[in-house]
Amino acid sequence: MAINTNILTPRIMEDMFAPMLQNCVSIAKLKKIHAQIIKFSLSQSNFLVTKMVDVCDKNREINYANLLFKEVINPNTHLYNAVIRAYTHNHLYIFTVNMYKQMLRQDSTAPDKFTYPFVIKSCGGLMSHGLGKQVHGHVFKFGLLGNVVIENSLLNMYLKCDNVGDAHNLFGEMGERDVISWNGLICGHVKLGQMKKAKAVFEEMPIKSVVTWTTMISGYTRIGYYADALDVFRRMQIVGVKPDWISLITVLRACSQLGALELGKWIHFYADRNGFLRETCICNALIEMYAKCGSINEALLLFDYMRERDVISWSTMIMGLSNHGKSGEAIQVFQEMQLAKVVPNEITFVGLLSACAHAGLLDEGLKYFDSMRNEYNIEPGIEHYGCLVDLLGRTGCYQRALELVKDMPMKADSAIWGSLLSSCRIHGNLDTAVVAMEHLIELEPDDTGNYVLLSNIYAKLGKWDGVSRMRKIIRHKSLKKTPGCSMIEIDNTVQEFVSGDDSNPFSKDIYWMLELINLHKEKADGKCKVTILD
C-alpha cells in the first residue's frame, strides 16, 4: 500500500483509511492497515481506532481491541462506546462495567445514549440487580430517561434479575412504550410462570406482534396449560396474525400433549403451503406430534419425506416407534441412523433402550447400554438406568435389577422403583415388590397407585392378608386415587373428561347418548352394557 502524503491533512488521511477499515473483514488485513496508520502518525486518532475496534469486535479479537484502546492517550466517548460494545458482544460483562467506571472517571468523556444499552445489558448478564439500579440512577442523572431503547434495556435487566416489581414500576413510568417494551414485560412474567400477570399485560397491549402471541403460547405450554395455549393460537388466527415457524413449533408441543391431531394436521398443511417444511425443526415437531397423537404412520411418511435429518429427527422417530410398541422398527431406524453416520445422543438411547424394554430384548438392550460409554462417550443418565431396570424387570431378572439400582451413580427416583414394582406385578415376584414399595413409600408416601399395585400383587399370589393390610393403609392415610382423565378433539376443540366429574356443560347429553348406545348394544347382542351415572 503506497500513499502519497504530500499536502494531505490528518482529516483527509482519516477519510482515506476509513473505507479500508469499513471493508476490512479479517484481523490479518487489519494489522496491515494498522501498520500504515502508525506509519502516518495516526495511532492517536479516536476516529480510526474506533473503527479498528469495531473490526476486532466482528472478529472476536478482544485482546487486540484492548491493546488498540490502551495506546490512545485521550480516548473520547465514541471510542469508549466501541470498546464497551465489543466487551458486551463477547459476554465479557465485568470488563464492560470496569470500562464504564473508567469512562466516568475521565473529565473529558461522558456516557451517552449509545453507552447505556450495553452497560445495562452487562448488569443483567452479571445478574447484578444492585449494580443495575446504580446504573439506572446514572441514566437519570445524565438526563437520558425517556429514551425508549435505554428504558427497554433497563426493563429487560430487571426482568432478567427476576425483579418484576422494579420492572413494573419502570414500565408504568415510561412515556413511550414500543412493542419491545410490552413483549419484554410479558416475557418476564412468562419466564417466572406468572401466566395470570402475563395475560393481564397481554390483554392491555394495544398492538401485538407474532412474538407476543408466540410468547403467550409458549408460556402456557411450559406450565402444562395446553388447552389455553391452543386458545391463544386460535385467537391469533382470528385477528389475522400469521404464525411463523417458531409459533408453529410452540403450538405443536401443545397439540402433542392434548392429542389435537386435526389441528396438528392443519399446521402441517400450513407449514407445507408456506415453505416451512424446509426447516428441519418444524418437521421434527410434526413427527413428534403425529407419534404422540397415535398416527405413527404419518410420522414415518414425514420422516421419509425429509431431505435433511439431524440427530433430533432420528431420535424422535426412534422414540415414537418405541412408544407404539414397534421395537423392531425402532432398532432398524437406529441402524439406518448409524449408516447415515449421524452420531446419536442421550435421547436416542432413551428411545432405543425403551424399545428393547418393551420387546423384552435383554441382550440387545445390554449391548446398546454398554455402547453408550464405549463407542459414543455418553455417560448414562437416570433415564437410561431406568430403561435398563425396566428391561431387567420385564425379563424377570429381578436380582440383577436390584444390583443395578444399588450400583447406580445417582439415587434411584420413584420412576425407577415404580417401574420395578410394575414388573413384579407381571411376574408375581413379592420379595422384590416389597423392597421397591419400601423405597416408594419413602419417596411418594401419598401416592395411592403404589399401594394398589402391591395389593394386586398380593391378590395374584393369593395372600389376602397382604391385600387387607394395603387397604387398611389406604383408609388410614385417607388416600384418594387420582381420577382418570381422557380427552377428545372435536371440531378443533379439545374436550376433557374426568372420572366422576359431571361439571361438563354437555354431561346430560353425554349420559343420554351413552344410555342410547347401551340400549342399542343390548338389543344387538346383549353383551355390552354401559353404566349410566345419575
Q: Where are the domains of the chain?
A: 214-308, 309-361, 381-483
Total count of residues recorded for the chain: 534
Mean pLDDT of 247-272: 94
Provide the pLDDT for residue 394: 87
Mean pLDDT of 231-258: 94
Q: Are 132 and 161 in contact (CB under 8 A)?
A: yes
Provide the pLDDT for residue 495: 59
The CA distance from 182 to 206, in Å, is: 9
Provide the pLDDT for residue 19: 85
Model pLDDT for residues 295-328, shown as the tens digit of each residue: 999 999 999 999 899 999 999 999 999 999 999 9
The CA distance from 248 to 270, in Å, is: 9
| Type of residue at 113 | K
Q: What is the percent of the chain with per-residue pLDDT over 70, rounded to a whole number?
A: 86
Higher pLDDT, 507 or 361: 361
Mean pLDDT of 418-446: 73
pLDDT tier at 398 (50, 70, 90 boundaries)? confident
Model pLDDT for residues 106-155, shown as the tens digit of each residue: 888 899 999 999 999 999 999 999 999 999 999 999 999 889 999 999 99
pLDDT tier at 533 (50, 70, 90 boundaries)? very low
Question: 451413580: which residue's cell?
Answer: 409
Provide the pLDDT for residue 530: 46
Instruction: Evaluate if residue 28 carries a pLDDT over 50.
Output: yes
The CA distance from 468 to 198, in Å, is: 50
Q: What are 487's three cell numbers? A: 380427552
Q: Within a 10 A sphere around the Cβ of 464, how many other Cβ atoms?
A: 10
Mean pLDDT of 227-248: 94
At 490 the three-state DSSP class reads: strand
Q: How many helices (H) and strands (E) does the chain have?
A: 29, 2
The CA distance from 225 to 223, in Å, is: 6
- Work out the widest C-alpha separation in the chain, in whole angstroms: 111
Instruction: Evaluate if residue 42 carries a pLDDT over 80.
Output: yes
pLDDT tier at 434 (50, 70, 90 boundaries)? confident
Instruction: Evaluate if residue 223 carries a pLDDT over 60.
Output: yes
Instruction: Evaluate if residue 527 carries a pLDDT over 60.
Output: no
Higher pLDDT, 50 or 8: 50
Q: How many CA atoms lie within 13 A of 68 on its CB side?
A: 33
Higher pLDDT, 2 or 17: 17
* CATH superfamily, domain at 381-483: Tetratricopeptide repeat domain (1.25.40.10)
Instruction: Evaluate if residue 516 carries a pLDDT over 90.
Output: no
Least confident segment among 210-214, 379-383, 401-405, 456-460: 456-460
Mean pLDDT of 433-442: 73
Q: What's the pTM?
A: 0.76
The CA distance from 356 to 342, in Å, is: 21
Of residues 372, 390, 371, the one with CA closest to residue 381: 372
Instruction: Evaluate if residue 511 carries a pLDDT over 90.
Output: no
Instruction: Evaluate if residue 490 carries a pLDDT over 80.
Output: no
Provide the pLDDT for residue 532: 44
pLDDT tier at 493 (50, 70, 90 boundaries)? low
pLDDT tier at 534 (50, 70, 90 boundaries)? very low
